[in-house]
Chains A and B, each alone.
Chain A
Amino acid sequence: MLETVIQQALNALQLGSYYSLIALGYCLVYGVLLLINFAHGDIFMVGAYIAFFAATFIMGQHAFIPANVSPLAQIACTGFFAIILTASAAYIIGRVTREGFRQTRAFKLLIGGLFVLFSLLVYFLGKGFVLPKGADRWVVMGATVPLTMLLTAAVGIFIERVAYRPLRQKGANRLYVVITALMMGIILEYGNLSALGASRIPFPPLIKTAIFEIAGVTVTNLKLISIGVAFAVFGLLQWIVTRTKLGMAMRAVSYDKFAVPLMGIPLDIIIVFTFFLGSSMAGLAGMLYAMNFPVLDPFMGALVGWKAFVAAVVGGIGDIRGAFVGGFLLAILEIVVAAVFSSELRDLISFTILLGILTMKPTGLFGTAKTTKI
């Protein structure tokens, strides 16, 4: 009996770690922008797909450049990807350096050098990055994690840039932003479905699954990694938000969005940084989820994302500790419901809880009520 309880508790911790990782993203964005980023669950799904493509690319199963075409076509392909990479690099460099740097000779030389570098990189790596036989799977994993996080963060920032920022600058009604976010999520789901087809993709095993058995309780190393990562990420975010200058700026933005630019804080950069943090955590969660439940489909993000949102609301949206605790609470509750009643009632129960909390105590467990002046 005790073993079952501990076993189920471990399962709940594992499930809760995904909910928490995604809920942290909801929470960061809501805390800073007061925007419920409904597309976040689908960014999690995109993260899982990016992890799949990154991992298979590193293991040499997919390539940018098809090997069975003529050398000229290969060079054209290389040029295409190199131009895209150089252009984005030039854009980023132009944005982060001081004004006027773009006109200097050094900038042009730098871009030229980058183009040569990218061409060479794409040409030699693009045919498929083949790891030597018997290379440790941990190497693959170590390369996939940062790649996934960066690319997923890029997706999140892109959405912020094209969809949310124009509305924000126009000073549009908040509901319009909510609708945009909701629609962005649907676009990600169905764009993926249209691009990759409806077939489910099996996720390759990145590291060897090891099963430990301690006093009748079985644990896999993947499970332990998920739980550990969730706690580590929580610690990291808590440190960033409460101890660093960037975190202070984030809190300032959330406190008063209009006074902050007057104090010399670059509002847009802080918001982009927030989206970077949230989306990269969603990407990490997507990868961990895909490693544990190794089947990808375009709609995997919708339900998990919703559950994570429920978790964020349970904890009090806008507070990192709340989101973290809420994720685990919801997971424990779901496991209990599935064990006592039936697993089909899980979604029903979690949404009913959401409804109840929003009706009774909209601030959640950790949130504090805000007063509105009339």
Chain B
Amino acid sequence: MPTALGALLLVMGGLVQSGILGQYYLTVIMTMGIFIILSASLNLVNGYMGEFSCGHAGFMAVGAYASSVAGIFLFVPDKVFGQPWLPMSMTPLAFPLILAVGFVAAALAGVIVAIPSFKTRGDYLAVITLAAGYIIKSAIENIDAVGGPRGFMGMNKVIGGMNEVLDIPWMFFWIFLGVVFTIWILRRFVYSTYGKGIMAIHQDEVAAEIMSVNTNRMKLIAFMLSSGLAGLAGGLYAYLFSFVNPGSFTILRSTECLVMVYLGGMGSLSGSILSAMLYCLLLEFLKPVLDYLQLSQTIKWVIIPLGLILLMQFRPEGIMGNRELSDIFPKLKRYYRFK
């Protein structure tokens, strides 16, 4: 598996570097990668654990802002955060650290959802997650140091620093690594005893508790991991577009995550990956169609929720249901070993 992934990275990197893959396609692919991280991480809570979290965008916002601030703080002279601590040439080495800051911050924010989830379930928990999303957005809007509602920028200087060291498409590289890391850790997690515990909570929480599953601990870990990965996606998002504002992390972003999870199928990692790619392609396809029909682009936000409603009505188990790709095509198992 590592060889195949390395080869894929090399081929894609080569295509990008030689300019065969244009900037537009590159951006689409990178957005796709971020969406894969988002949908796979939300699937841990909504699919495997069977809870209903719809504040994923809030954790993404925490990660985005934390990584942006970390990057600016370390490398870029700024009015608020003072002189840089490290020289620009350190950026390629320190970038994983910056992303890790986003991960940790978002995981800590996940605790504010995890603790109420000890007692509440179902639609009340859904309300809590929604409220958490609003609280995070509203809190960021009230912090003036990161620009409040106006947004926060300057991350492209860090990317510029990386490009000075070595001129390769760095963001593509990092997003690729992020996606691989996410899928690797989620797969390891789901197939470990922790994952079994989480699936037991999905089946029946009371029975799981009787069977000596420490449900509170499981929930805490699942929520923290899920929101931490959302924070990773947020950090990558912030550096990809080098601009973040609270307006990009509203309920609409959470809706996108939900659509991807339920389209792919609850409790199916490969389903999440497939649906994220499909969803991204559909979105890109929708833009010219709406333009051609001379309709307003906001109709997108009528079509996406409508799609989710239809999904709920007619095929709530999504494309893959509870299965993985390798369950449908068992021969695939021969080609990889995930360790």
Interface positions of A (Cβ within 8 A of B): 35-36, 163, 166-167, 172-176, 178-180, 182-184, 186-187, 189-191, 193-194, 197, 306, 309, 313, 344-345, 347-348, 351-352, 354-355, 358-359, 362, 374
Contact = CB atoms under 8 A, between A and B. Distances in A.
A175 B128 contact: no
Contact of A167 (B135, B262, B313): B313
Contacts of B302: 187, 190-191, 194
A351 B135 contact: yes
B301 A175 contact: no
B120 A348 contact: no
B251 A186 contact: yes
10 contacts: A166-B313, A172-B316, A175-B122, A175-B123, A179-B312, A183-B305, A186-B255, A193-B296, A351-B135, A358-B124
Nearest to A352: B135
Interface stretch (B111-119, B158-166, B178-186): B111-119
Interface residues of B, number: 40
A232 B48 CA distance: 48
Interface in B73-119: 112, 115-116, 119
A227 B337 CA distance: 68
B134 A351 contact: yes
A184 B305 contact: yes
A187 to B, nearest CB: 5
Contacts of A35: 123
B263 interface: no
Contacts, number: 107
Contact of B316 (A173, A178, A187, A191): A173
Contacts of B16: none
A159 B296 CA distance: 24
B286 interface: no
A186 B301 contact: yes
Contact of B116 (A191, A194, A348, A359): A359
B139 A183 contact: no
A313 B123 CA distance: 12
Nearest to A36: B123
B299 interface: yes
A351 B131 contact: yes
B124 A362 contact: yes
A187 B127 contact: no
Given A187-B302, A359-B119, A179 B139 contact: no
Contact of B312 (A36, A176, A362): A176
B299 A190 contact: yes
Interface of B: 52, 54, 112, 115-116, 119-120, 122-124, 126-128, 131-132, 134-135, 138-139, 141-142, 206, 251-252, 255, 258, 262, 295-296, 298-299, 301-302, 305-306, 308-309, 312-313, 316
B301 A190 contact: yes
A194 B128 CA distance: 30
Contact of A194 (B112, B255, B295): B295
Most A-side CB within 10 Å, residue of B206, B306, B309: B309
A167 B132 CA distance: 28
Contacts of A36: 123, 126-127
Nearest to B259: A183
B250 to A, nearest CB: 10
Contacts of A190: 298-299, 301-302, 305
Given A187-B306, A194-B302, A351-B138, A182 B312 contact: no
Given A36-B127, A355-B116, A194 B298 contact: yes
In order of increasing CB-CB distance, the 10 nearest A-B pairs are: A183-B305, A190-B301, A359-B116, A176-B312, A348-B138, A186-B305, A351-B131, A194-B298, A194-B299, A175-B52
A244 B120 CA distance: 34
A179 B308 contact: yes
Given A175-B52, A183-B306, A352-B135, A359 B299 contact: no
A180 B309 contact: yes
Contacts of A191: 302
A243 to B, nearest CB: 30
A369 to B, nearest CB: 11
B204 to A, nearest CB: 9
Contact of B309 (A183, A354, A355, A362): A183
A183 B301 CA distance: 10
A351 B55 CA distance: 13
Contacts of B132: 355
Contacts of A180: 308-309, 312-313
Contacts of B301: 186-187, 189-190, 193
A348 B148 CA distance: 14
B252 A186 contact: yes
Contacts of B306: 183, 187
Contacts of B131: 351, 354-355, 358
B258 A179 contact: yes
Contacts of A184: 305, 309
Nearest to B254: A182
A176 B120 CA distance: 18
Contacts of B299: 190, 194
B295 to A, nearest CB: 7
Given A176-B316, A179-B309, A187-B306, 15 more contacts: A173-B316, A175-B122, A178-B123, A179-B258, A183-B255, A183-B308, A184-B309, A186-B252, A187-B302, A187-B309, A306-B134, A348-B135, A358-B124, A359-B119, A359-B128
B123 A174 contact: yes
Contacts of B123: 35-36, 174-175, 178
A186 B251 CA distance: 9
A167 to B, nearest CB: 7
B126 A175 contact: yes
Contacts of B296: 193-194, 197
A309 to B, nearest CB: 8
Contacts of B312: 167, 172, 176, 179-180
A352 B258 CA distance: 24
Given A351-B135, A355-B112, A355-B116, A187 B305 contact: yes
B251 A355 contact: no
Contacts of A348: 135, 138-139, 142
Given A163-B309, A190-B301, A194-B295, A182 B128 contact: no
A362 B123 CA distance: 12
A82 to B, nearest CB: 29
Contacts of A174: 122-123
